[in-house]
Amino acid sequence: MVEQRPKLLIVEDDPGLQAQLKWAYEDFEVVIAGDRASALTALRHEAPDVVTLDLGLPPDPDGTTEGFAILAEIMALKPDTKVVVASGHGARESALRAIELGAYDFYQKPVDIEALGLIVRRALNLHRIERENRRLVERSTESHQALGGLITAAPEMLKVTRMIERVAATSASVMLLGASGTGKELLARGLHDASGRQGGAFIAINCAAIPENLLESELFGHEKGSFTGAVKTTEGKIELAHGGTLFLDEVGDIPLPLQVKLLRFLQERTIERIGGRKAIAVDTRIVCATHQDLEGMIGRGLFREDLFYRLAEIVVKIPSLAERPGDAVLLAKAFLKRFSAEINPQVRGFAADALAAIDAWGWPGNVRELENRVKRAVIMADGKLVTAEDLDLDQNGDEETLLLNLKAAREQADRKVIRHALARSEGNISSAARLLGVSRPTLYDLLKQYDLQA
């Protein structure tokens, strides 16, 4: 199979120079364009890796400088394309302006075919390296996706996902405990998808968001005419999830009278709609979540103990984002990729100070806070890289609890820094070793000593 040659678009209006350049670079598939319209058409259809652009093209009838107009449109349409601009002798200011607009490099006329060839091939090599880096980042993000699309490389979170995968095949009720924004609903959906009920519906309801007088109808449904406004018979969420999974978020907010009715469903696997007299058999698995201390609520008489044990056949505790070193960077990169595609395509990644700020922040709002900050930063960013200022992170956070045992403190610090370095380098051992200032063999020894994985 013949290897496809890289494409080089030459934007030049001199017919003699066009012919000379077309046959000068045999290792490229050369495409010639003599004006703005044909250049942009070739850019869209051919998607060249490198473009050479004459800044001295005649201006448009409206007076627009043709070369700079083409450069601006290339950067808008294909920002990863490497553009090498040509300027006349002494037009250094024009060349520097082109670099500011996104051009890769420049050369002066008259054209030296050999020198230009060196610049073009160097630009092609950089284009290939950047494309491979993007591919590796995408593959790294995909490789860190666990249950339900959850992105993590932290052993603490991988332990949680493995536990949920084991439980998914059973019929046990599962209670997810964790702070707001830790991904409880995502894990509940992942449990549903990994179970034998994936063909049924997954229905989620936030018990804290629905007024007490409406929550019973939401869960159990009602018959026509059972109360004012009940103009038709309506199935509740438990019934709608028949054959599937019902996720009860903030289950601690269910009022005591309704807890009795929920307990009866869990025991009998039948429900009665409001105003109904007929028992309806329902096969629905319950997965619940809360950030409250239910055992403390039981002691204060706010939550039924028998319901707790029915709901909490399996209890899964979800770590906060601060307890998952390295995950903040992985998640931030995934969020940036999504939001830049949706909102601001010119944003390509994070600056070094932004990555350091993400690593250092305590994330009291967990993944939800991280997602919101990255979204805002992508909207506000002026350049191609999101900076720490764009993220608006205050670095004067609370100090961590001091460990007085030196060996334990040193081990904790080593683990944390190594995992941050692995996340920052997308799991590349050589890059992580350079960040840490150690050799590859030393890093391998540390990974083995602390039972860490790249």
**Is-contact 369 360, C-beta < 8 A?**
no
The pLDDT-based confidence of 395 (bands split at 50, 70, 90) is: low
Closest CA to 209 of 240, 253, 176: 253
Query: What is the mean predicted confidence (pLDDT) over 398-417?
Result: 60
Chain-wide mean pLDDT for the chain?
A: 84
User: What pLDDT score was predicted for residue 398?
Assistant: 41
Residue 119 DSSP SS3: helix
- Is it true that 7-131 and 150-319 share their CATH fold? yes
User: What pLDDT score was predicted for residue 440?
Assistant: 79
- What is the architecture of the domain spanning 150-319? 3-Layer(aba) Sandwich (3.40)
- Say how far apart CA 323 and CA 72 lie, in whole Å: 45
- Say how far apart CA 454 and CA 447 lie, in whole Å: 8
Is the pLDDT score of 136 beyond 80? no
Give the burial string for 339-356 (b: 16+ CB within 10 Å, else e). Answer: bbeeebeebbbbbebbbb
Q: Which one-letter DSSP state was computed for residue 321?
A: G
What is the token pair recorded at 279? Answer: 């028992």
Report the Cα 147 to chain-centroid distance in Å: 15
Query: What is the mean predicted confidence (pLDDT) over 281-288?
Result: 94
HSE of 280, CA atoms in CB hemisphere, 13 A: 18
User: What pLDDT score was predicted for residue 230?
Assistant: 81
**Within 10 A of 442 (CB to CB), how many other CB atoms are there?**
12
The pLDDT-based confidence of 420 (bands split at 50, 70, 90) is: confident
Task: Collect all residues with Cβ–Cβ distance below 8 Å to 394 and sequence separation of at least 6.
Answer: none
The pLDDT-based confidence of 174 (bands split at 50, 70, 90) is: very high
Closest CA to 310 of 141, 432, 172: 172
9 beta partners: 31, 51
User: What pLDDT score was predicted for residue 89?
Assistant: 56
Alpha carbon distance, N-terminus to C-terminus of the chain:
36
CATH topology assigned to domain 399-454: Arc Repressor Mutant, subunit A (1.10.10)
What is the token pair recorded at 411? Answer: 């081990």
- Say how far apart CA 94 and CA 88 lie, in whole Å: 9
HSE of 135, CA atoms in CB hemisphere, 13 A: 6
Please give the single-letter amino acid code of residue 92. Answer: R
Is the pLDDT score of 103 beyond 50? yes
Is the pLDDT score of 410 beyond 80? no
User: What pLDDT score was predicted for residue 400?
Assistant: 42
User: What pLDDT score was predicted for residue 404?
Assistant: 45
Q: What are phi and psi of 88, to 5 degrees?
A: -70, 165
Is the pLDDT score of 399 beyond 60? no
Closest CA to 326 of 135, 178, 187, 151: 151
Q: Read out DSSP for 132-146?
A: HHHHHHHHHHHHTB-
Q: For the domain 322-398, what is the CATH code?
A: 1.10.8.60
- Is 303 exposed, middle or buried, given 0-12, 13-18 or 19+ CB atoms closer than 10 A? buried
Please give the single-letter amino acid code of residue 255. Answer: P
Least confident of 166-175, 220-229, 393-402: 393-402
CATH 3.40.50.2300 fits 7-131, yes or no: yes
**Extents of the domains making up the chain:** 7-131, 150-319, 322-398, 399-454
**Within 10 A of 416 (CB to CB), how many other CB atoms are there?**
14
**Is-contact 432 418, C-beta < 8 A?**
yes
**Within 10 A of 92 (CB to CB), how many other CB atoms are there?**
11
